[in-house]
Structure 1
Amino acid sequence: MAIQIIVVILLNFIISLIGTLAYSVRLVGVRTGKIAVSFALFNILMLVSRVAVSFQVPILTRYVEGNPGAGDLLTVFNVIIVISGTATVFGAILIPTFQRLLYRGVQSFTIDRSLSKLIIHSFSKSGIRYIKDCVTVPSKENVRQLTHKKYPRRIIFYNFLAVAFLTVGSLAPIYAGILEPDLRATCITLSSIVNGIATILMTIFIDPHLSIMTDDVIDGKRTEDEFRVCVIGLVGSKTLGTFASLLLLLPFSYLIVFMARVI
C-alpha cells in the first residue's frame, strides 16, 4: 500500500475518532455545569482534527492523479471508509474513559485557569497515574437502555444521514474526478453538494435539539440518564452512518459528475 494512502487512513482514523468523542462533551458539560469550558478544552483535540482534514484531501488527490485506475481506486476509497467506521467504533469504546479525563480536566482548569498547567500536569507522574485510573469500558447497562427507554429517533436518524453524507462528501468529489478526468477540478469543488445536505441537517435539526436538551437537563426538566441515552443513540447512528457511506460513494460520485457537466 502506498505511503500516501497509509497517511490518509491514519488521518481519517484521527478525524473519525475525535468526531466520535465529541458526542460526550455535552454530557461532561452537564455533569460539571461548565459547558463552555468543556467545549474549550475539547477544541484542543478539534484543532488536531482540523489539521488532519486540511491534509487529507490534498494527499488523496495527489495519489489519485498518479494512479488513474478507477477500479483499483474504488477499493482504496472503500478501505478508507471502513477504517473510518472502525475508528468510530474505537471512539465509542473510549467515550467512558474520555468522559472521566475531560471531567477532571474541566475541574482542574476551572481552579487553576491555566491551560499550560493542565497540559504539564497531564504528563506528570500523578497525571499519568490518574489517566490510568480513568481507563474503563462502556457499561452494558447503558447500551441496554436503548431498548426500553425513549430516545429521539428522528434526531438520531438525521444524524445517521448527516454522518453518511459527511463521510462520503470528502471522497465522492475526488472519485468523481476519476470518472470524469476532464472535469476533475470542477468535481473537487462540488463537494458542497454533498456536505451541504449534512450541514442543513446538523444546523436546522440536530444541533438545536441537542442544545435545548442540554439546557433542559441543566434546568432539571430532563434527567441525565435521558441525555445519556440520546448520546448513545447518536454514537450508534454515527457508526452506522459511516459504514452506510460505502453504499453512497458511487451514486454521489456520479451525481457530482452530472452536476459538473451541467455547470
Structure 2
Amino acid sequence: MTVPQIFDRTLIARNLARRPEERDDFVTRLVVTDLEERLATLSRKIGKALVLGPDLEALPAHGRTAVAPFSFKRLATLSPKATDGREPPQLPDSGYDLIVSLLDLQVVNDVPGYLAQLTRALAPDGLLLAAALGGESLTELRNAFLTADTEITGGAYARVAPFIPLRDGGGLLQRAGLALPVADIETHVVRYSSPLALMRELKSLGAANPLFDRPGRMVTRHLLAAACEAYSMVAGDHDGRVRATLEILWLSGWAPHESQQKPLRPGSAKVSLTKVLGDKTEE
C-alpha cells in the first residue's frame, strides 16, 4: 500500500540545515528534561539504548534510571543527505533495551510503520518511548491563518501541520505490537510578544510549513497582517502579548515478554462483585 506523502522531509531537512547557529530550542530542552524525569522512575538497568530525532546535536548522550546511568547511541533521522525516504533511517543495530524517539513522529508519513520498525529493534521486554507534538499544538496559529486566508483569498490553505491527537496514541502503539501501551499529554502555554515573534521563532527552529502539498503562493504582507490580527483577537492578553498552545504527546510501550502482566481470562475472577459492592436488588 502506498503511504500518502503528507510531509516533505527533504524540505524539513533543508530547513534544519539553514537554522542559525545561535538559537534557543526550548521545545527540545523541555522534552529532554521531561525524558529525564520519566527515565528516573524506571527501576531497571539499561544496557543498550538508542535515541533518535531530527537534530543530532539536541539528542542526549547519556541517561539515568532509578538504578544506574547508561549511554545512548544517537541517530539523526533527518539530514540534507537523507533522500532515500526511510522512516526512520536504517537503524544501526537491534536488541535494544530502550529506544527513544524525540520530536520526529509529527513529521513522519507512515507513523504505524515507523513505530513497528522501532518495535522490531527492541529486545524482549524492551521499552519504547516517543515524544511528539500533540494535536492541539499551535491551534491558535492554524486558526488565525485559516481566518486570514478565507478573508483575503476566499479559500482555506493548510499552513500549519497537523499533529497527532491523544486519542490516537494508544491505538498506534497497539498496531505496532507493543504491550502495556500508555499515551499521555503534557500541555504548556507559551507567551510571545506578538504573533510575528512566534512565527520568527518557528522559522529559526526549522519548523516552517513542512507539508508536501503546501500552498504554491507566498504569504503576502496583507495576508500576514490579517493572520496577526486574527491571532491577537483569539489569543491576545491585556499586556499585548499572545499565547501559544504547546502539547507534548508521550507514547510508551514494551516489547512483548512472558514476564509481563496479562489480563485475566473472562470468567476467571475468584470474588464476585456482588460480595464486594453488596446486593443492590433490595434497595
TM normalised by structure 2 equals 0.26
Larger strand percent: 2
TM normalised by structure 1 equals 0.27
**Which of 1 and 2 has greater Rg?**
2
Larger helix percent: 1
